[in-house]
């Protein structure tokens, strides 16, 4: 379970403090339920996702992660001067998997499908290649909730199918919190939805109801 308690977020700009992106969001996201974050461009979906995943911090409020939560698949930083393999080795060590690094490497290298680029500096990767490596790294570890930011749009058709199959296979032991601009993708993988609008968030038990609320908010 993830408890989001009165979360506010705004960023500093070159002109000072920016406007509030998130304004007092309070939600409880259960485990075993896959959730889609829905909203217009700039509504704060990726911001909330990063805060849930712990790679960004709220300006006010807090997030309590009462289960194992992944970092956002498809997003996140690598050390650009290191190779994909070296970045993967660092992540494995941080997560306490020093003894089974070869097995984890084999999985990550196969799933990402980067070929010889796995031993090239990440700074030479395209955005799609970075997303594929980040996705493979996330799946190499066991989490209760996986966080996905447009991962199903990364890479070629073969990789997108591989990603979709991975999401289906995790349904019996883990859940997803997902951002995607594809309505079909959200309906395929998510049971519930969170609609973000004007800095506020509303929970819907059914993803179709969240999509309906979003569509009804659009200018006629």
pLDDT beyond 70 at 154? no
pLDDT per residue as tens digits for the range 93-148:
877 666 777 888 888 888 888 999 999 999 999 878 888 888 888 888 888 999 88
Nearest-CA neighbor of 139 among 119, 116, 168? Answer: 168
Per-residue DSSP letter, 130 = H
Identify which has the larger pLDDT, 130 or 7: 7
- pTM for this prediction: 0.83
pLDDT beyond 60 at 75? no
Domain ranges of the chain: 1-68+177-215
Distance from C-alpha of 99 to C-alpha of 60, rounded to nearest angstrom:
39
Pair 150, 180: CB distance under 8 Å:
yes
pLDDT per residue as tens digits for the range 116-130:
999 999 999 987 888
Q: Does domain 1-68+177-215 have CATH number 3.40.50.300?
A: yes
- The SS3 assignment for 105 reads helix
Q: What angle do CA 185, 153, 205 make, to 5 degrees?
A: 25
Nearest-CA neighbor of 86 among 64, 112, 67, 105? Answer: 105
* Mean pLDDT of all residues belonging to the chain: 87
């Amino acid at each position: 379970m993830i408890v989001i308690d009165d979360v506010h977020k705004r960023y500093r700009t070159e002109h000072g403090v920016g406007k509030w992106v998130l304004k007092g969001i309070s939600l409880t996201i259960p485990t075993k339920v896959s959730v889609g974050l829905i909203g217009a461009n700039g509504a704060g979906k990726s911001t909330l996702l990063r805060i849930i995943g712990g790679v960004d911090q709220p300006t006010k409020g807090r997030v309590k992660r009462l289960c194992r939560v992944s970092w956002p698949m498809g997003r996140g930083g690598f050390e650009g001067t290191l190779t994909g393999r070296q970045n993967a080795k660092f992540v494995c060590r941080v997560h306490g998997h020093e003894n089974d690094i070869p097995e984890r490497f084999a999985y990550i290298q196969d799933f990402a499908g980067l070929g010889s680029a796995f031993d090239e500096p990440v700074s030479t990767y395209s955005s799609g290649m970075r997303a594929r490596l980040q996705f493979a790294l996330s799946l190499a570890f066991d989490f209760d909730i996986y966080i996905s930011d447009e991962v199903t749009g990364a890479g070629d058709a073969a990789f997108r199918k591989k990603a979709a199959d991975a999401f289906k296979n995790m349904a019996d032991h883990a859940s997803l919190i997902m951002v995607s601009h594809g309505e079909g993708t959200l309906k395929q993988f998510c049971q519930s939805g969170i609609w973000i609008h004007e800095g506020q968030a509303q929970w819907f038990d059914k993803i179709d109801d969240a999509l309906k609320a979003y569509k009804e908010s659009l200018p006629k």
